[in-house]
């Protein structure tokens, strides 16, 4: 299995749609950083990847730096790091009064309507929740904003048609529509990553670009398939079909660190996932991630997280993250700005 699939298999992305929208021109909506609404959307989350899928019409999207992006029906735009952004019917439309977004999200509207009555733009706004440690290889390789089109081949057409069907089902009285749409969000992210990788220029570096390299891609796949194996640079080089020096050079070029440093950090991410999500003993966790003794594992864990594994697990239990916000309890809502306080 390839390294991307192995990472995504471990990550277990949590996803949800927070609203469907139909805005009519002229309109402009300022979306804040994901961190400011994270606990409203998904209590206990540490990282949210926001996305918008345009189902109808067109719009522009922009960030604090860089030119606006033009989006049309079938386009997906993702914000892997949860950056604030501005969406509008046209780039020159000025933002209106601020919206109390946390209050709006707590109302959980099935459909959000807003705008001046002109040309309509429809989109789905959603998020994927992930562990930033497990997703670090992917997130570190992604830009602030990522745009791809779902149109152009049979697989993408199937996904777009499935999402549109799920949107219709989510608004029907039959149960399960929102759950189907949330699962399709995960498929959509994988397809977005695959298309982004295909668009990377030959000179691109980073984890995703490294997956396309014959030597580095093979090495990453083997590390993620068997992270507990007693790897050395020599044994990994043999698996990748290269010399030790060639592997070390190419791995550093694409990934930015040595293979063993990368493996050590990935093992710690896996260990944290096991400590938080299972009742395995520390000795078993150490064994699962490739450490022969508890002491060696504890030293490595403390270097990465600043506290021993037992203390870290206790901290996670005490956090007791709440349940994810369910969506779609109101039939519809009209986006309204914050009202000025009297006095």
Q: Is the pLDDT of residue 232 over 90?
A: yes
**Residue whose entry in the numeric block shows the structure tokens 């896996």:** 270
What is the arithmetic mean of pLDDT over 198-214?
93
Closest by Cα among 192, 197, 191, 190 to 212: 197
| pLDDT confidence band for 329 (50 / 70 / 90) | very low
Q: Is 325 inside any structural domain?
A: no
Q: Is the previous residue joined to 26 through a cis bond, with omega within 30 degrees of 0?
A: yes
75-79 and 69-72 beta bridge pairing: unpaired
Query: 115, 27 in Cβ contact below 8 A?
Result: yes
* More confident site: 231 or 5: 231
Query: 71, 77 in Cβ contact below 8 A?
Result: yes
Torsion of CA 325, 326, 327, 329, to 10 degrees: -120
Give 3-state DSSP helix, strand, coil % of the chain, rounded to 5.
45, 20, 35
Q: Are residues 47 and 160 in the same domain?
A: yes
Q: Are residues 300 and 195 in the same domain?
A: no
Domain of 216, CATH number, reads: 1.10.10.60
Q: Across the chain, what does the average pLDDT equal?
A: 85
Q: How far is CA 73 from the centre of its chain?
A: 21
Q: Is the pLDDT of residue 212 over 80?
A: yes
Domain boundary among 199, 227, 242: 199
| pLDDT confidence band for 243 (50 / 70 / 90) | very high
Domain boundary among 170, 199, 228: 199
Q: Is the pLDDT of residue 271 over 80?
A: yes
Total Cβ atoms within 10 A of residue 261: 13
Cβ partners under 8 Å of residue 96, min gap 6: 28, 337
Q: How far apart are CA 258 and CA 251, in angstroms?
A: 7
Q: Are residues 156 and 220 in the same domain?
A: no
Domain of 129, CATH number, reads: 2.60.120.280
Per DSSP, the three-state class of 260 is helix
Q: Are residues 190 and 268 in the same domain?
A: no
What is the arithmetic mean of pLDDT over 19-31?
90
Number of folded domains that form the chain: 2
Domain that holds residue 86: 3-199
Strand partners, 125: 19, 52
Q: Is the pLDDT of residue 292 over 70?
A: yes
Q: Are residues 72 and 91 in the same domain?
A: yes
Q: Are residues 41 and 177 in the same domain?
A: yes
**Residue whose entry in the numeric block shows the structure tokens 């609404």:** 37
Total Cβ atoms within 10 A of residue 54: 22
Q: Can you state the angle between helices 259-277 and 214-225, rounded to 10 degrees? A: 30
């Amino acid at each position: 299995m390839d390294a991307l699939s192995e990472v995504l298999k471990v990550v277990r992305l949590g996803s949800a749609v927070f609203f469907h929208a139909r805005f009519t021109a002229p309109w402009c909506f300022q979306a804040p950083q994901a961190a400011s609404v994270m606990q409203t959307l998904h209590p206990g989350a540490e990282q949210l990847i926001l996305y918008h899928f345009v189902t109808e019409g067109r719009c522009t999207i922009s960030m604090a730096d860089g030119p606006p992006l033009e989006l049309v029906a079938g386009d997906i735009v993702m914000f892997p790091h949860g950056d604030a952004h501005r969406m509008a019917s046209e780039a020159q439309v000025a933002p209106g009064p601020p919206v109390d977004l946390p209050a709006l999200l707590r109302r959980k509207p099935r459909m959000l309507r807003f705008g001046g009555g002109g040309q309509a733009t429809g989109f789905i706004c959603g998020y994927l929740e992930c562990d930033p440690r497990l997703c670090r290889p992917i997130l570190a390789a992604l830009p602030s904003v990522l745009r791809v089109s779902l149109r152009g081949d049979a697989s993408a057409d199937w996904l777009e048609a499935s999402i549109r069907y799920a949107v219709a089902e989510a608004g029907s009285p039959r149960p399960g529509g929102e759950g189907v749409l949330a699962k399709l969000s995960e498929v959509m992210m994988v397809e977005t990553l695959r298309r982004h990788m295909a668009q990377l220029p030959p000179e691109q570096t980073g984890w995703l670009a490294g997956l396309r390299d014959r030597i580095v891609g093979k090495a990453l796949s083997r590390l993620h398939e068997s992270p507990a194996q007693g790897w050395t640079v020599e044994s990994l080089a043999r698996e990748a079909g290269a010399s030790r020096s060639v592997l070390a050079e190419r791995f550093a070029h694409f990934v930015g660190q040595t293979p063993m440093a990368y493996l050590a950090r990935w093992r710690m991410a896996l260990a944290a996932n096991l400590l938080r999500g299972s009742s395995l003993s520390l000795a078993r966790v150490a064994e699962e991630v490739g450490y022969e003794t508890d002491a060696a594992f504890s030293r490595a864990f403390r270097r990465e997280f600043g506290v021993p594994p037992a203390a870290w697990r206790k901290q996670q239990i005490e956090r007791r993250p709440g349940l994810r916000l369910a969506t779609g309890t109101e039939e519809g809502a009209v986006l309204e700005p914050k009202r000025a306080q009297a006095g």
